[in-house]
Amino acid sequence: MLLPILALLCGLALLVWSADRFVDGAAAAARHGGLPPLLIGIVIVGLGTSAPEMVVSTLAALQGNPGLALGNAYGSNITNIALILGLTALFSPITVHSQVLRKELPILVAVTLFAAWQLQDGAVSRPEALLLLAVFAGLMAWTLREGLRGTGDALADETASELAQQGMSLRQALFWLVTGLLLLILASRVLVWGAVSIAQAFGVSDLIIGLTVVAIGTSLPELASSLIAVRKGEHDIALGNVIGSNLFNTLAVVGLAATIEPAAVGAELFRRDVPVMVLLTVSLLLICRGFGGRPGRISRAEAAGLLACYIGYMGWLGRSVLAA
């Protein structure tokens, strides 16, 4: 049992580190290749924070663990809103300024409701997965068009600015691109093996492991990015980081994993976890909307409420495990 636990912890640590190196290398290589900063910013924002979820869910699907794949994606969405934003806003209340974020939040709600509708039968079929990928492609095209029209979001602009300041040579960029990708794959394989072994040893489903330990681990980049953003006073970036990651997880991560291997995990996902994800997403929209002429704001009291929701959800999962 000690070996799977060590594999899980080491896999999570290596996953976060290698994802950062992979993104730095990819961004620098793209910049050397002459890609527009806007395109780099938009793509890296999603890729940078969701690369762990993408690789872990894809490998889980390839190895026949659909519960781990879906649990990782939807569990990360719940973790991002309730835990990541809760901790971030508790550290520094988040004020919403960007008009683009107010456009993207309703889109996130719509995408989340669509995902919930798809999961009524507790499964994601291959045609449904392809539809998710098509929606994701359309959303990326819309975001790029809005940026080219001069209404790009602060998150992409800030990311592009930071990338432009990197002094990485092309050789270094290619090295970290390849090395980061290989380590991402290795870390994901180690993590999935450890997670599945622990689940089997304790009689816990892959879905529960994906919703808890793996989801928290793969959401660490979002936590680091959000804390750094609010420390710099970039509140929209902290919120946009979570919105972009959740869109990426719901559409691209689930879509790719279920295209490889259609996922069927049972009705408990629709009855328990999806409603929590939907309620948290709708709550985030209401909190950030703002009323009475004041801008939307996630206060410390609301942050504490989000954290309380996350603790309650973890308790619900624990009770489900004990009752099984």
CB 57 within 8 A of CB 218: no
Task: Show pLDDT as tens, one digit a residue, over the chain (324 residues).
Answer: 788 888 888 887 887 787 777 767 776 776 677 655 555 555 665 566 677 888 888 888 888 888 888 999 999 999 999 999 999 999 888 887 666 566 778 999 999 999 999 888 878 899 999 999 999 999 888 877 766 665 555 555 555 555 555 567 778 878 887 888 788 778 878 887 888 788 778 888 888 888 988 888 888 777 777 777 777 776 766 787 788 889 999 999 999 999 998 887 777 888 899 999 999 999 998 888 766 666 678 889 999 999 999 999 999 998 887 776
CB 152 within 8 A of CB 146: yes
CB 307 within 8 A of CB 87: yes
Q: How far is residue 67 from each of residues 62, 63, 206, 210, measured CA to CA in Å?
A: 12, 11, 5, 7
Q: How far is residue 29 from each of residues 25, 49, 172, 177, 311, measured CA to CA in Å?
A: 6, 18, 9, 8, 41
Phi then psi for 123, rounded to 5 degrees?
A: -150, 160
What pTM value is reported for the model?
0.82
Q: Which residues pair with 297 in a beta bridge?
A: 95
Three-state DSSP state, 168: coil
Question: Strands 94-95, 123-124: parallel, antiparallel or unpaired by DSSP?
Answer: unpaired
All structural domains of the chain with their residue ranges: 2-323
Question: Strands 123-124, 263-264: parallel, antiparallel or unpaired by DSSP?
Answer: antiparallel
Q: What does CATH list as the number for 2-323?
A: 1.20.1420.30
Helices (H), 269-299: 274-289
H/E element holding 95?
A: strand 94-95
Alpha-carbon gap, residue 87 to 278, rounded angstroms: 20
CB 73 within 8 A of CB 53: yes
